[in-house]
Amino acid sequence: MNIYSKTHLPKDGWILGCFQCSRPTSKTIEYNYKSKTYNVYVCTKCHTDNKDDTRNNKLNFKLSHSIELYINDHTLEPYKQPRISLEPPKIRSHSRFPYVPAPVFPVNTPTPSINLQPKSPPLPPLPPHELDNIV
C-alpha cells in the first residue's frame, strides 16, 4: 500500500505528494506496521527533520503516529468500526430564517392555474395581394 498526500499529480505516477508536507517527491521509505510493509512517500527535507534512529522505523513519534492512524483508517479489517462516519453528510441550512414548510392545499380544492397565454394581441394577417409576391 502506498501512503502519500493527495495532490494534483496522477495516482499511478512515480512522483506523488509527500505524506507530511504535500510536496511532489519520488522518495519512499518502507514502514513496517503489524507485520506488513508500507511504502510512505516522504520528501528529503521531511525525512531528515523526522529522523530518529532509536525507534523501530527510524522516524520520530509524531510522524510514526500519523502514519499508523492513516493505515488504521484506510485498511479494511473484518468487523472493524471505522473512525470515519459512513453516513452521508447532513445538509445544513445557512439561512438566518427558520424552515417554513410549503403550503398544503386541501384535496377538494383545485390548485391555482397559471395563464400561459401571451398578453399582447396577435399580429394581423397579411393582405392577400402581398402573399402572392412572397412566393
Q: Is residue 60 part of a domain?
A: yes
Mean pLDDT of 43-56: 82
Tell me the one-letter amino acid at 76: L
pLDDT at 57 over 60: yes
Residue 27's domain comprises 2-74
Q: What is the pLDDT of residue 107?
A: 63
Q: What angle do CA 41, 34, 30 make, to 5 degrees?
A: 25
38 lies in some domain: yes
Grid coordinates belonging to 110: 383545485
Whether residue 26 is contained in a domain is answered as yes
Where is pLDDT greater, at 125 or 94?
A: 125
pLDDT at 81: 62
| Whole-angstrom distance, CA of residue 52 vs CA of residue 125 | 93
- Total domains in the chain come to 1
Contacts of 68 (CB under 8 A, 6+ apart): 33
pLDDT of residue 100 exceeding 70, the answer is no
Which three-class secondary structure state does DSSP give residue 133? helix
Q: Is the pLDDT of residue 130 over 60?
A: no
Question: Is residue 91 one of the residues assigned to a domain?
Answer: no
| Strand residues in 13-135 grouped as ranges (E) | 16-17, 24-25, 28-33, 36-41
